[in-house]
Each structure stands twice: as structure tokens, then as C-alpha cells.
Structure 1
């Protein structure tokens, strides 16, 4: 049997060394090394989408891989692609690291400098384990494989633009189409999802922050199942506890949820921190909500540029959704696209707050009338993101009334409009550490 091996090595010299040694192993088929964690996960997801059999038997992870640290990367690969045997390459042969690597899901550890006998032994053991797992899966065991569910993050250009309403409605739309859905509140200091859905629950995302291995039982204890069937992971009731949730915790939490749900919607709020930056970075779709006014559009521009500077996500990989839109507004979607450099959603959400006021005050957002033009627009947007099996034909028909973006609505911006919105300097980076490695997904 030929063993397929995918190395993940950032350093060019180390990559050549690993490739040379792998080429000497019998009955192996080494692939070209991938240089960072993002490309490794994307490559595995693409292969898994075709077939379980397309995945390599062994993945080698070098200790200096980035931007995600090696142990966190191993944990994510082991969780999302359990039929792949992962081996860590490291200069640290201490029992502490060995134990940490095994806890993360590694099937072996090879020490630097690389030796032929040790590498061959670890690769062979990991490959045999992988073959056994695949044989077990082929017998009909229900174990999740492949890329897992779709993760969508919803962030606000500034406070009050409708971020949480958007996140809740996207989750409700996905759930109504029969998909399993998790809704996460990563607005760690001011999250309001519990208020919008009339939920009182003492567990929160902060309770998972200190957990090294998020098992299904641990996750179940922290999640509240709403009457709609949506699994809710709420923000902490005490805002100061939000500081406990670091980027590493956020990655583990989102990975654990996406492995158990078809759709994961994350409300990232407005304030950028390490936790929601990690969520935006690993999301399949990142939505930025703005309103069509000068202050909000300037804020959206600052957010997009900050994400790019911090290598969280590129502007062209961000979807901008315009909320509270009217045809009479001076700032049209095409102008917002020009200012921010983002992709614009094919739907705009109309300015009909009166439709929302009753259900918001009652904490019954899930009971919003189906005739609401706001709901129709947001559910149509959910279809655009691929969160529902098929768009609601009624919502699509009425979407013309709720403001579907068109050339007629989004006319060419004037020089005065462009100068007015674009004026002003960028703000600082809120003290966030610049991320290393490749930018965005």
C-alpha cells in the first residue's frame, strides 16, 4: 500500500530537508509541502469534499508552522479530519510536549534533526492507524469527516447597525430549512442574543475558555438549546469575564461547534479582540453590517483596513451588508463598495424598524412575522450565503419590495459623496498584536 504524506512546513530549508528524507521512504507518495496552517486546512477540506479516500494518510506538522500554533493546528486537523494521522516534527523531545501533542490528537512525534529510522517508524505507525480508522468508517460508523459545517461571522461597522438582528435571523433561516445550527455570541462584553431570544442560562462561552479538550459532553453542558432548535452559546453575563476567552479558545470552540452542526453563525459584535478576530479569520464567510450613513461607512472602512493590517481577512473576502436602506438615501451600495473595497451583498435590508420593535421588546425575535420585509431580506441573504437549502420564493418575490440591490438603486456616486465618506485618517489597531503568516482565508 502506498502511503500519502502531506507536510506542513513554513521554513524553506526545513521543507527541503523534510521532502528529501520523505522521498527516500519506501511505498510513500509525499506531496509538496504547504507553507502555513490556513493552506493545510483548506487543502484537506478540498480533498475531503471529494471523498474520504482522497485524504492523505499522514500529515506532518512542523513546530514552526503558522499563523496557528502547531498544537492548535493538530487539534483542529484531528477534530475535523479524524481519518488522518498527524505527526509533529519538533526539536523539543520533553515528556511535557509529548503529552501535550498526544492530547491534541497527534499520532506520533519526530525529533529534530530528522533521522530516517525514526521518521519511517512514525509515518508507518500513523499510516496504519489511519487505514484502520478508514476501515472502521467504511463499516458504517457515524463519525464526522471532512470540512464540517459552514461558519459565518457577523460583525458590525459600529454599534447599533443591526449586527445581532442579522446574526439571529441568519441562524433562524438556516434552522427553518432543516439544518442543525449553532449561534455563538462572541460580543463578549455586550452580547445581547439572550435578550433577543428571551433566554436565561448561566453557562456561557467563558466556561469553555479554560477547557483544553472540548468533548461533546462538555460542549453540551455549555450550550442552551432554544425552542427553535438552535444551539445557543451565549456571551458571559459579567462582561469582564470576556477577557478569559482568548483567540486559542475561540478557535477550539468554533471548531468543536462546526464539527457537530451544519451551520455555525457567530455574532462578533463591533469591538475587535483576539477571540472574534480568530473567528473571522477561520470563517467560511465574514459579513460586515453597515448602515448607509457617513459615520457608519467610515467605520466600515476602518474595520476592513484594520482586518487587512492585522492579516485577519482581506477586503475582497468580506461581504458587506447594508441595513436600514431606503431608496432616497444619498449613500448607495455601489459607493459603499468603492469606499470599503468589499463584496456587496445582493440584498439590502430596508429601514422598517417598526416591524421589529414588538418582537425585540418581547425578546421573541424568532416570532417575527413572515410578512416582515426585514425578515424577507435577511432570509434571502441567508440563501445567498448558502445557509438554506433553497431561497423562499415568497421572500425572493417580495425582496424587490424590500430593496434588492440593483443598478437603478446603486447609481454612480458623485465626487462630493466619495470625498465626504472617504475623508479622515485610519484609527489605530486597538492594541491587537499583528498576526504572522498568510492573511485571511
Structure 2
């Protein structure tokens, strides 16, 4: 009997626990009517709204949109509207509203009005082109600074050294007419040379073929045009340009000297990536166990496209195309330029040629007065125009890469899988005519 009583008590206790447990789990659910994150969001919303309210009168206030005006500071009785971008004459701030000089009131919030002042200004170095007849202002334009003191014709290039921003847009400070400076709207300018745009149309009409990779870039601009600029093909002796670049960089860095002696032994023509010595050039195809100065080797490599000269530079200066060398050329060219396969696009060649130009020195100067100045790109421009260039040819591949020092110097690279020297000269003539 005692045993049955104990069993009954245990059953009652277990039942009570079962009834209580759901209540324990359900109770917290009733408190979820206002989750903490929702309350926080509303508080943040209020704080954000509060942060947008003005605490004082802004300098040179201007309406950012059409505003509703009111007769009272409580902003209850409407009294017309105020147009967007209108100068505001504010008398005082009261009750979260601005009282205007005409007795009306507007909301004192930053989404409605702002100070019509200079927002930012930075130094730049940019060539710009007028795309329309352009007004020149004394200062970056605002509703308080809008005096015009000159106008510029359409289609002219100018040097800009500052860029400013106001509520009205972006403005460039340019130099014109022999030293005058002024501010012009970005809306009236283009960063793309209209002559380059016209050149692109010409190239599309006459040379849009997979046989070509053509790259054109003005030296003082980042804008480029071309045909299949990123199409790679066997670059032949154009691949001597990165070797010349690296050699000149070593000279500029104090790691090499023009008087250094390079010894021509049997190893020079036998490492991976070396040219066949039987190609173009003036140095002996058979190792002659002689020393040649670095200056002499640079000159025969560029001016005579000498294969042995290129091998001497590659062996001693690039350390047989070391990883350091290849990484640097990849960064400069924008893509890997394998020294054995020698495949490169016109843009890769142009970027390396520009890098060599920036290094200057004997490496770049060696590209003038070459043995090939009567053909290809040089043949397509007037004889009085200086041209620094490097040719390349192998089987049906025929190339030239040049910087043409016209009134506005430009880079022209023509790679072709079939073109003749005359056809490259014709392309050069067209490019020169379009840009000059």
C-alpha cells in the first residue's frame, strides 16, 4: 500500500512538471513584441534625423530642392514654395526652423539646403579638351561666384592643374593664352582628345583586321586608341625593348655603367631565351672572346637590331631573364612577356617603350638614327620629325614600335602577321595626319 502511494505521488509530481515546462518556454515569447534590434534601429533613426538638423545658419545658404515655405515657425500653414538652387536670405534659426528675410519659414534640415561654397580642391596634371564653346570663370562656379571673363573655342587642348567641386559640379583650372588661368566646367570638357577619337574611326574603317595589333597613345595622356591592342603575336626583335629598358634601369640605379665590359664567350648564345646569332646585326655570329663596352652593345642592339648584342645584355644585365626581371616587365607591360616565346601585344610593347622613354639615357637614345630609318613608321612621317623606334621581323611577321616627336608626341606600335614595310608606313602616315 505504501508502495502504491509513493507511485501515485511521483506520478502527480511528474504531471505538474510537464504542465510547468511549456509555460517556461512560452513566457519569453510574449516579450518579443518590441525586439531590441528594432528599438535600437528606431533610436538610430531618430539620432540620424537629429544629426541632419542645423544648429546654426550655414554660410551662403542655397536650396538643394524645391522647398515648402510656411507662415509660422511651427511649419503648419504653407506660404508658397522656393525653387531649387535659390539663394536664401536667412534671418535667424528658431524652433528648428529658419526664418527668412521675407518673414516666411523653412525647415532647418541639411537635406533641404547647404552652403554654396567650394567643397573640395586637388592638384592634378591633366590634358583636357573643349567639347563645346566654353565659358571661363574667375573661380569655381557657385551662385555667388559666376563671373565670366573669357570664352574658349571648341576642340582645343589645355593643361589643367587643379580640379575643384562645388554644389554645381566639377571645375578644372586651366592655362590658356600664354599664361592666363581660369576655371571651366567639366560638362564642357572631354578627357579624350577628339583627334584621337577621329583616329579610332579611321583605324576601324581601314585596318580592322586580325592581321594587325595597333596601339596609339599620346605621351601626355592616358587615353589610347587602336586595333586589337591586346592581341598577342610573335614580337620578334621588339622583344629587345624590355631588355633595353631593364639595362637602362640598372644604369640609372647605379648597378651598371656604360663603360662596363661584356665578354663575348660561348655561353652568350646558348641560354634559354637567347636569339639565334645568325639573325640581324653586326657582331660576329661565332663567339670571338672579346670584350665590348655596355654602351657599344646597347647601340648595336637598338640601331642594328643585333641578336648577339641582345644576348649579351640579356646574359649580363637581366641575368638570363631572372625572375626579378620578368616580374618587373610583367608589371610594366601589364601582362607576362615570356622571353622564349616572345609573344606580346601592341599595347604591351607600347607600355614598355614608354617605360624606356621615362628611363631615358643611352638606352632610349639608341633608338634614334637606326639602320632602319628609311622604312616603316619613320617613312610615314615628314623627314624633319624625329622618331625613336625599334623594328621587328620574322617570317611573315613585320613590326615597328616608335615614339614620334611631332608637335604633340605620340607612341605608335604596329604589329602585323602579314603587312609589308610600305603598309606599315601607310598606317604611320594616316596616324600622323589624323593627330597633327
Structure 1 and Structure 2 fold alike (TM over 0.5): no
Which is bigger in relative contact order (C-alpha 8 A, separation at least 6)? Answer: 1
TM-score normalized by the length of structure 1 = 0.25
TM-score normalized by the length of structure 2 = 0.25
